[in-house]
Structure 1
């Protein structure tokens, strides 16, 4: 049993009790904190990380996140790609079953992908079908979903035709949004093909999942019951972990990080993720729409090293690009030249740009800038520090608008925030296109700043069409340079997920996409 840290902050927390040995044949239960309450667990509608954690337990795509976070064979046991890179043929496993015992067939994938593409569905991930023949036309409503380039060849062969080669396609189809969906399931019911099935859902409290006996690999699933606990309040979540009510936390409060490093031992599991936290400027209206110098001034005035090392207490990395560095072999995002200037020179440039933008000394006053943010202590500390830097260096006042996570996500998708949006994006698969695609002018919901640059779009199109990996990554780098010059968003830090994992949870890995499907875990007594 660990000694309780002698700090005022944690003095009220109970020590984690010793666990009694697990009886032979006893039910194995995993208790996971998942952060904010899922708004949906429909794979064709979800777009938040807490939702994905549950969905990957309930559904299995053609490919699926493996125990180390990389895509592995899922509902498809094998596949072939045509020499021109435009036709993918997937062979479904004959033992695949839905949780109701019926057979998983290629028609289920046809139905699910057409549904994802349909404008009626209004999925935030509808653009995932764009590489497919007629994908853009279907999402735009100019062609019916039946024209999407997917087909069932018998029960177990699913064929996909692409408009052009897409080197990232296999990684993309491991994403939750491309899971199969069974047609005809009544509203409110969940029939999945994953390792678990939904037994109970209590809003704002928990989702109880039990082992699915019809799962194709049920014999190798070790945990019987998974309790996904909603843990909006990070301080309360930590207390529940310390009281032995959770096996895994979703995150940690900033105030507990130093304690965790010193006192939590093997429980402390910091995980550098393929992610970026950023400020997006709403380019649908002024003063942001036509004033890149204003956006640049605000970006340059932020001392990211102070944010990361002092405010957030280390572990994280300062961000100067949307795409995280050091995560994809052969690709390093281009670092803007101003990022390497001494702080004093950077601040001087920020002041100069603010004046050139028409504000500051000799210009018109800039009204207080409203920042929409999710209400939690980590975000609050970050943005209080950013606000202080803007006030001290530029004389810019800031108003923080705190809302629930799902509310912030919805407002961001609809572009109805007033000035700036503080948000985080974690990659869905390990490829820079995962970030860069969000800034395409034809991406409706997840292009949070509503950025439009046709030259940028054209470079992404050329990269997608290239069969040469080096050429493709070079084109993506050129595209990244374009948006960096336009400052549609302000990257602040690349996140490290700081959480506690009880050592009795076996198989937990520190994966860049921050996914550990429960089917690959075990809990020892």
Structure 2
């Protein structure tokens, strides 16, 4: 989810609002087709297929911002947003994903899927070297998915529980055999989720999360670490032994650390920085910065992450355990204002757990909660929550998401709107570790958050709504509100293994109906993360991973 994998500052901008690119393939129909055909994806479908017609120019330095400064750049150990941004240039996965979430070869040059959807066979590239010169083999794939990633990454651990075996018939073939079909299985193999780690570096290690080897960054990516000056910048340089001939095109990438949001805006405006990732500056700055003639604004590159914003509700605490109270909250908050004013027009309303990008989105199944303070007060009256002498019916603590002024304004607006119907809200400011600690320990009533949907409900949504049997408080930032509904659990578990797309849609329609009635969280809007970059920078957003791509194809016109 957003917290466990690094919620980032939201932003969006454009005078011409681009429509969301529909993703009807890669999550439904494409997966079904892949499962029917025992074919092979050819290495010709490479990232280069997305390149512009202009011939790339080699050389040059790309200046970016990483905010906040990451705790590590080892992508195998940590999946926070800033770590993924930098680490995706150093480490790679078996595949990457197109904007339609179709698999593209990366460390795997081709693959095949058995007709029954149980066996995935990957043919690996034979000319790949780790940054220390050691050869990349199938043993690295087995090590990564059998040992390292399950120990460091909850999502991989959950998916690997569905795998019966992983074998290596030879040094450049890896075979995954599933216990039962799992149509979204291919979506776990990109660099950010399926980071391939060097087996030879971890001989004898058992505690992978805390291993001293994690401080030595050795990947297969197109860039290597030159220097990390804490509080100033992270400097990456071209990997001369990269497996794709002639790539990368850039000589250097600098990730500058600029803590002040105004300073980041000035750095871009004055030309010191070549691109701004979503969240690098506040939303209200984007229109001004996008006016410059040499600047391009794009909303693409977030097709895989597909973020949706919401309020976490702690259902263990009264009166949040009463669905009428949760409905009152929904009616009390003007979500149109959130999109229009708080997020400067960047976003889209939603009334359920899926965004408009999802092929499983079913608006007809969702219950809508229009802004209606009178209805909110009536529901509170029905519960017996009458105003006291100060006009207060109930008191709640709200933990804001500590990612800049936009999110602080968001929290203040929630406080104002709920106060209008007699719910007194106290803001509990904290830093990122404190925010994470509070929501995972249950020390909150309301908390601002968002989740990455990650291409398919079975990958990105399950963890938010599945019950945690026997656990009063979850140990990771997933179902932090303590929601439990046996029918929801059954629908999620059944749908994730169902190969028939029509049947999956039916199951997810019922899921959306139940969730929008139960309101385990209060969805606020689909987030949009625009990217601002100078027109001289090419191929910056070539895939569905956007700025979390490896940048092997990025080049600068000089």
Provide TM-score, normalisation by structure 1.
Answer: 0.83
User: For residue 418 of structure 1, what is the aligned residue in structure 2?
Assistant: 444
User: For residue 321 of structure 2, what is the aligned residue in structure 1?
Assistant: 290
User: For residue 452 of structure 1, what is the aligned residue in structure 2?
Assistant: 484
1:400 CA displacement: 2.1
User: For residue 10 of structure 2, what is the aligned residue in structure 1?
Assistant: none
User: For residue 154 of structure 1, what is the aligned residue in structure 2?
Assistant: 170
Is the CA contact 2:110–2:122 (under 8 Å) kept in the aligned structure 1? yes
Is the CA contact 1:281–1:288 (under 8 Å) kept in the aligned structure 2? no
Q: Kindly provide the CA deviation profile for residues 69-117 of structure 1, in whole angstroms up to 9, marking residues without a partner as x.
A: 7531111111111111011111111112211111111111111112346
| Partner residue of 1:225 out of 229, 241, 252 | 252
After the TM superposition, which of the residue ranges 164-173 and 433-442 deviates more from structure 2?
Answer: 433-442
Is the CA contact 1:271–1:511 (under 8 Å) kept in the aligned structure 2? no
1:289 CA displacement: 6.2
> SS of the residue aligned with 2:246?
helix
User: For residue 237 of structure 2, what is the aligned residue in structure 1?
Assistant: 210
User: For residue 408 of structure 1, what is the aligned residue in structure 2?
Assistant: 435
| Partner residue of 2:408 out of 380, 387, 392 | 380
Cα distance change, pair 270–118 in 1 and its aligned pair in 2 (3 A): closer
Q: Distance in 1 between matches of 2:364 and 2:168?
A: 42
Q: Distance in 2 between matches of 1:518 and 1:292?
A: 47
User: For residue 354 of structure 1, what is the aligned residue in structure 2?
Assistant: 380
Is the CA contact 1:69–1:513 (under 8 Å) kept in the aligned structure 2? no
After the TM superposition, which of the residue ranges 395-404 and 506-515 deviates more from structure 2?
Answer: 506-515
1:370 CA displacement: 2.4
> SS of the residue aligned with 1:337?
coil
Q: Distance in 1 between matches of 2:191 and 2:513?
A: 27
> SS of the residue aligned with 2:88?
helix
Is the CA contact 1:124–1:446 (under 8 Å) kept in the aligned structure 2? no
After the TM superposition, which of the residue ranges 49-58 and 63-72 deviates more from structure 2?
Answer: 63-72
Q: Distance in 1 between matches of 2:180 and 2:442?
A: 34
Q: Distance in 2 between matches of 1:437 and 1:333?
A: 19
1:416 CA displacement: 3.9
User: For residue 140 of structure 1, what is the aligned residue in structure 2?
Assistant: none
User: For residue 289 of structure 2, what is the aligned residue in structure 1?
Assistant: 260
Is the CA contact 2:400–2:407 (under 8 Å) kept in the aligned structure 1? no
Q: Distance in 2 between matches of 1:265 and 1:427?
A: 34
Is the CA contact 2:162–2:178 (under 8 Å) kept in the aligned structure 1? yes
In structure 2, the gaps of 5 or more residues are 1-56, 203-212, 469-473
1:450 CA displacement: 3.4
User: For residue 189 of structure 1, what is the aligned residue in structure 2?
Assistant: 216
User: For residue 90 of structure 1, what is the aligned residue in structure 2?
Assistant: 122
> SS of the residue aligned with 2:491?
helix
| Partner residue of 2:368 out of 319, 323, 338 | 338
User: For residue 517 of structure 2, what is the aligned residue in structure 1?
Assistant: 485
In structure 1, the gaps of 5 or more residues are 1-24, 134-148
Is the CA contact 1:269–1:510 (under 8 Å) kept in the aligned structure 2? no
Cα distance change, pair 153–230 in 1 and its aligned pair in 2 (3 A): farther
Provide TM-score, normalisation by structure 2.
Answer: 0.78
Q: Distance in 2 between matches of 1:330 and 1:270?
A: 25
Q: Distance in 2 between matches of 1:355 and 1:116?
A: 53
Q: Give the aligned length.
A: 476
Q: Distance in 2 between matches of 1:41 and 1:295?
A: 40
User: For residue 520 of structure 1, what is the aligned residue in structure 2?
Assistant: 553
Q: Distance in 2 between matches of 1:84 and 1:503?
A: 46
Is the CA contact 2:97–2:545 (under 8 Å) kept in the aligned structure 1? no
> SS of the residue aligned with 1:126?
helix
Is the CA contact 2:397–2:428 (under 8 Å) kept in the aligned structure 1? no
Cα distance change, pair 471–69 in 1 and its aligned pair in 2 (3 A): closer
Give the CA RMSD over aligned residues: 2.8
Pair 1:312 & 2:363 matched: no
> SS of the residue aligned with 2:276?
coil
| Partner residue of 1:59 out of 77, 91, 95 | 91
- Higher RCO (CA < 8 A, seq sep 6+): 2
Q: Kindly provide the CA deviation profile for residues 204-234 of structure 1, in whole angstroms up to 9, marking residues without a partner as x.
A: 4322111122221152311111112234432
